[in-house]
Amino acid sequence: METFQFTEHAHRRYNPLTGDWILVSPHRTKRPWQGKVENPPITKRPSYDPTCYLCPGNERAGGLKNPDYTNVYVFTNDFSALVPDVPAGEYIHGDLLRAESERGLCKVVCFSPRHDLTIPEMDVNAIKNVVDVWTTQYEELGALDYISYVQIFENKGDIMGCSNPHPHGQIWAQACVPHEPSKESEKQRLYLEKHQATLLGDYLELEVKLQERIVTSNRHFVALVPFWAFWPFEAMIISRQSKQHLLQLNDDERNAFADIYKQLTIMYDNLFNVSFPYSAGIHQAPTDGHDHPEWHLHMHFYPPLLRSATIKKFMVGYEMLANPQRDITAEQAAQRLRDVAQTHYKSNS
C-alpha cells in the first residue's frame, strides 16, 4: 500500500483553536477544476436609496430616523436579540432541563453613508474608520460591568441572510462568553501554558515558513486559508504580533488591518466575479475583567460559495449528522485566491 499523503488521500484535519476535526477528501478533486467564472451583469446600486432603512436621513423599520451621517454610523439594533434589562434567573430540572437568563445588547454599524459600496470597493481610509469604530465599540461595550464578550461581525450577501445590501455589520455584546470564542479561549490558554507562546503566533510562524496557505499579507497582518478550513474558501486574518484585542493596535496597525480586509475581499470578489458573500467576524479577548495573555486577535471569514457565483456548499447530510467535510484542500483554495487579479473586477471593466 502507498504511503499516506494528505494531498492525495482522505484524511481528518485537527483545528487546534477549537478542538474540532474536519474530513478532507482531496482525491475527489482529481477531476479537472470545473469552476466557472460567470460574468454576471454588473449591477449598479444607487449611492442613496430612499427605501433603504440604513441610508442617511431615512426612517428605520423601528420608526427612528437615521441622522444625515457622513462617516461610520452606529445605532442600537431596533430588533435586538439581547437586551440589558433582563432579570437574573434560571430554570433547572435536574440534569436535563437547564436555562439561564442572558443580558446583553446589539448594535448595527453602517460602514459608509454610500448605499452602493462594499468593503472591497471602499478606500482603505474609509475602512480604517470602520476599524476605529469597532475599536471604540469594543472598549465601550467591554467596559460595561455585565458584558464579558463583544462579538463584532459582518453578514454579507442575501445568501447569508443579510437583510440589506447597504454596507453594514453588527455587534452583539453579552454577559457570557459564547460557544466559539469560549472554545478558542480554552485552547489558547492551554497552549500558552504549555509553550509560553500564543497558539496563533506559533501557527503563523509555521505558515510563513511553509508558504502553502498564505493568501496575502502586509507589514502587520497575514491572510491565509487555515490548515483546518471547512468552508471552501474560508480564510483568517491574523496579526503578526500577538495582540489580545483591537485596543492594542496602534494607528498604523489599524490601517494595516483595513488594508488586508480590503485586499482579501477584493480577491474574494474576483474569484467568481461576484460580490462574494460571507459571514466574517473578529475573535478577541473576552471583556470579563481578567487578563487574557493567551488571546491572539484574528478575524474569520466563512464564505459559502464553492464553484461559481451561484453554486454554494451546503452543510447537509453527513456533515449535519457526522462531521464537516471538504473536497478542495485548503492549499488549493489558497492557490486559487492568490491567482486572481489584485484589482477589483468592477474597476477592471
Cα distance between residue 274 and residue 308, in whole Å: 9
- In the bound state with ligand H2U, the residue whose beta carbon lies nearer, of 29 and 80, is 80
61 lies in the site for ligand H2U, by CB under 6 A: yes
Is residue 292 annotated as part of the catalytic site, yes or no? no
Question: By C-beta, is 107 or 296 nearer to ligand H2U?
Answer: 107
Nearest residue (CB) to ligand H2U, 38 versus 158: 158
Select from 27-35, 60-68, 93-101, 246-254 the region that touches ligand H2U (CB under 6 A).
60-68
Given a contact cutoff of 8 angstroms between Cβ atoms, the answer to whether 89 and 99 are in contact is: no
Establish if 54 lies at the interface with Zn ion (CB under 5 A): yes
Residue 115, contacted partner among ligand H2U, Zn ion, none, CB below 5-8 A by kind: Zn ion
Residue with smallest beta-carbon separation from ligand H2U: 60
Q: Does 115 bind Zn ion (CB under 5 A)?
A: yes
Note whether 49 binds ligand H2U by CB under 6 A. no
The least CB distance from residue 110 to Zn ion, in Å, is 8
In angstroms, what is the minimal distance from the CB of 58 to ligand H2U?
9
Query: Residue 77 binds which entry of ligand H2U, Zn ion, none, with Cβ cut-offs from 5 to 8 Å by kind?
Result: ligand H2U
Q: Which is nearer to ligand H2U, 63 or 289 (CB)?
A: 63
Candidates 22, 108, 110, 127; binder of ligand H2U (CB under 6 A) is: 108
* 162 lies in the site for ligand H2U, by CB under 6 A: yes
- The beta-carbon contacts of 265-269 under 8 Å, at least 24 apart in sequence, are 265/118, 265/119, 265/120, 266/120, 266/342, 266/343, 266/344, 267/215, 267/216, 267/337, 267/338, 267/340, 267/342, 268/120, 268/233, 268/301, 268/303, 268/337, 269/118, 269/120, 269/344, 269/345, 269/346
**What does DSSP say about strands 73-76 and 11-14: parallel, antiparallel, or unpaired?**
unpaired
Q: Cβ of residue 54: shortest distance to Zn ion, in angstroms? A: 5
In the set 11, 27, 115, 168, the catalytic residue is 168
Binding partner selected for residue 170 from Zn ion, ligand H2U, none, CB under the kind-specific 5 to 8 Å limit = ligand H2U
- Binding to ligand H2U by residue 77, rule CB under 6 A? yes
Using the rule CB under 6 A, is 119 a contact of ligand H2U? no
**Is position 128 an interface residue for Zn ion (rule: CB under 5 A)?**
no
Separation in Å, CA 147 to CA 73, 102, 238, 286 = 22, 10, 25, 9
**Binder among 118, 137, 155, 279 for ligand H2U (CB under 6 A):** 155
* Non-local CB neighbours of 42 within 8 Å, separated by 6+ positions: 346, 349
Under the binding rule (CB under 5 A), the answer on residue 166 touching Zn ion is yes
The answer to whether residue 103 forms part of the interface with Zn ion (CB under 5 A) is no
**Is residue 158 part of the contact set for ligand H2U (CB under 6 A)?**
no
Residues annotated as catalytic (active site), given as ranges: 168
Residue ranges binding Zn ion (CB under 5 A): 49, 52, 54-55, 115, 166
Residue ranges binding ligand H2U (CB under 6 A): 53, 60-62, 77-79, 108, 155, 161-164, 168, 170
